[in-house]
Amino acid sequence: MPDATDTRPYDALLLLSFGGPEGPDDVVPFLENVTRGRGIPRERLKEVGQHYYLFGGVSPINAQNRRLLAALREDFAAAGLDLPVYWGNRNWAPYLTDTLREMVNDGRRRILVLATSAYASYSGCRQYRENLADALAALEREGLPLPRVDKLRHYFNHPGFVRPMADGVLAALAELPEGVRAGAHLVFTTHSIPTAQAETSGPDGGAYVAQHLDVARAIADAVRRETGVDRPWELVYQSRSGAPHVPWLEPDVCDHLEELHGRGVPGAVMVPIGFVSDHMEVLYDLDTEAKAKAEELGLPVVRSATVGADPRFVAAVRELVAERAAAERGERPERCALGALGPSHDVCPVGCCPGREARPAAAGADSPYA
Ligand SMILES: CC1=C(CCC(=O)O)c2cc3nc(cc4[nH]c(cc5[nH]c(cc1n2)c(C)c5CCC(=O)O)c(CCC(=O)O)c4C)C(CCC(=O)O)=C3C
Ligand SMILES: [Fe+2]
């Protein structure tokens, strides 16, 4: 029986996230950070800025990450894991490079990374690995010793991610009017990405959609077992960005609600499986925009919960850390996974989830760093 508190060779965990503005003056600089060199039309940026101003210029994502950070520290301490947890972001303070510098100055040399994205894709995986490479390059220029950085496997199908969402769907169904509940569809939703990015995601391509379908099916199965009702479900997309002539994954969640209504479906639960916490994509694109659409249609729709800092998710992170640490020590740990795809790879292979241009990416087989 492997020791579930042994985190050797790692000496720290880094929570790596997107970052978000914390007041109205932060919104424009934040959006500039996000979109630098990405060819997002000005009109789209103005519109997205409005989403943030509607909430006082504050994205909920930083508060969500502070909660997760505190929950991880508490859980690790209670379970007897002696592993400090740090937090850094791609697009807002605390910036990744500053956090990594602090970690190195604290003497951390073997760092394991938890990204707040559960699935394979350029935006959700390789881009974070590129951010890590950029941060390591900055430390190298400063003459600091470079830590070795590894990234946890994709956790989309870990029971600690799937089960809280399945329970969330049951709670959401209970909120629907009784006459609607049995006929309600489950509308699984995630971030749209360019179809070209979807096609090349993961080691063999197509991973982004395949992983979401696997999670959706696992949740739909759990809900059917629990309720005895076999509800139809679909995977749809939200938060499309980019230039209009570039194809992104469809259908859009709002168009889909309209279609369901047109077909006489009595109601729906929107299940935001693509997101780890209630950040702006959830609060604006679903709770504001899609809910307004549903109201306009007169279609009863409830949005189910993201995992956030659910204790089962927090425990899953601890298990994933212990699992990876054991694997690094040459042991053969048990790897929990629901669905049909099985546990994801520990180390992204060469060329996994390519971007539009080849840039150095750390924490993978093609990392220029150790
Ligand atoms: C797959 C995916 C996830 C899920 C996985 C993950 O979580 O990583 C995600 C999460 C997030 N996306 C976020 C915010 C934004 N994403 C944008 C733009 C884009 N997202 C993309 C993809 C994804 N994005 C893509 C392909 C673009 C086009 C430009 C580019 O190729 O980069 C833009 C620019 C404006 C616009 O929307 O056009 C913003 C402001 C926030 C923060 C929310 C908050 O503040 O609470 C979060 C968590
Ligand atoms: Fe995004």
Task: Give the model's confidence band at 44: pLDDT under 50 very low, under 70 low, under 90 confident, else very high.
Answer: confident
Query: Tokens at residue 145, please?
Result: 């010793």
Number of Cβ within 10 Å of residue 37's Cβ equals 7
110 and 123 together in one domain? yes
Amino acid 76: pLDDT: 98
Q: How far is the CA of 309 from the centre of ligand 1 (A)?
A: 21
Q: Are 133 and 356 in contact (CB under 8 A)?
A: no
What integer pLDDT is reported at residue 2 of this predicted model?
60
**Total H helices, total E strands in the chain:** 13, 8
- Judge if the beta carbon of residue 73 lies within 6 A of ligand 1: no
For residues 191 and 297, membership in a common domain is answered with yes
- The ligand whose atoms approach the alpha carbon of 52 most closely is 1
Q: Cβ-count burial of 40 within 10 angstroms (0-12 exposed, 13-18 middle, 19+ buried)?
A: middle
- Share the mean pLDDT of the chain: 97
> Among 40, 122, 197, 239, which is best to mutate for testing ligand 1, by the most ligand atoms less than 8 A from CB?
239
Q: pLDDT at position 98, please?
A: 98
Q: Is the CB of 44 under 6 A from ligand 1?
A: yes
269 in Cβ contact with 303 (< 8 Å):
yes
Ligand 2 centroid from CA 239, angstroms: 7
The answer to whether position 181 is within a domain reads yes
Alpha helices in 55-118 (DSSP H): 61-79, 96-105
Give per-residue pLDDT as tens, 241-284. 988 899 999 999 999 999 999 999 999 999 999 999 999 999 99
Mean pLDDT of 193-221: 98
At position 44, the amino acid (one-letter code) is: R
Q: Which residue range is the domain that position 234 belongs to? A: 159-303
195 confidence band (pLDDT: 50, 70, 90): very high
State mean pLDDT over 192-216.
98
Per the annotation, does 191 bind a ligand?
yes
What CATH code is carried by the domain that includes residue 61? 3.40.50.1400
Query: Could you tell me if 44 and 138 lie in one domain?
Result: yes
What DSSP line would sit under 142-196, residue for residue?
TTPPPPEEEEPPP-TT-HHHHHHHHHHHHHHHHHS-HHHHTTPEEEEEEE--BHH
Q: What is the pLDDT at residue 280?
A: 97
Q: Which atom of ligand 1 is nearest to the CA of 21?
A: 45
The answer on pLDDT for 150 being more than 70 is yes
On the question of pLDDT at 232 being above 70, the answer is yes
Per-residue pLDDT at 339 exceeds 70: yes
Query: What value of ipTM does the predicted structure carry?
Result: 0.95
Residues 86, 100, single domain; the answer is yes
* Residue 1 pLDDT greater than 60, yes or no: no
Q: Which two tokens stand for residue 36?
A: 């630098």
Domain tally, the chain = 2
pTM here is 0.97
Radius of gyration for the alpha carbons in the chain, expressed in angstroms and rounded? 20
The 185-191 sheet, strands edge to edge? 233-238, 185-191, 268-271, 301-303
Q: Residue 88: inside a domain, yes or no?
A: yes
